[in-house]
A and B are shown apart, each in its own frame.
Chain A
Amino acid sequence: MSKNAETEFAGLTFEQAFERLEAAIQALDEGDLSLDDALARFEEGTRLIRYCAHLLETAELQVQQLLSDSSGAVTLAPFESEQ
């Protein structure tokens, strides 16, 4: 059963994925896991690493601009910056 890390963790931020990775490592480090659990944690960690790497590879800086109208309502609009 091979899960696709990108879809499995879709919606997790890099931070959340990284923290889950650290949690998996810590669980393994504490050492009182069943073999099944240990292997499951290892595989989860491996998929999280793949997911984090994928995020880093595909990340593109998103720039928005804060606009407020006369009534004081605040909106976000894309900001076109020349690269």
Chain B
Amino acid sequence: MHVDLYERIWLWGAGAIIVLFLGAIAFATVSQGRLPPSHVETIDPRNTFGDERFATRGVTVNPDGSVAVTMIAMMFAFQPNEIRVPVNAPVTFRITSADVVHGFQIVGTNGNTMVVPGYVSQFTTTFDTPGEYLITCNEYCGLGHHNMFATLIVEEGA
């Protein structure tokens, strides 16, 4: 079957892009263990503030030096709005939503997850650079979406 030269170029180009993107995903998965969210923990979205897991929100430092951060995302804020964590300590974020789907992105870091009502989003990461980081909602959640942000402060010896 005759295929025009230019059509062949397009076909091979499209195929190469697909292979490149799939290869990138495979490489990141194998080399760094990048996986989709696997923490499945449910919560009644009508009672997030009353649930004992989220009744107390904020930063907790465990005896082993690790840190747990508990937050609730809602239209159009994160609670608490400012959190302070120590540098070079594993920090586990646990976030849930009181209303609609939100995003939780710590700008300039690898911290990024969706926050879905009815579920607890959780991930652990370590910050090696002290400073002030913007936490922003990256899922459009309503008219006040652009005002939905919080601040993460990574401190030396906190």
Do A and B assemble together?
no
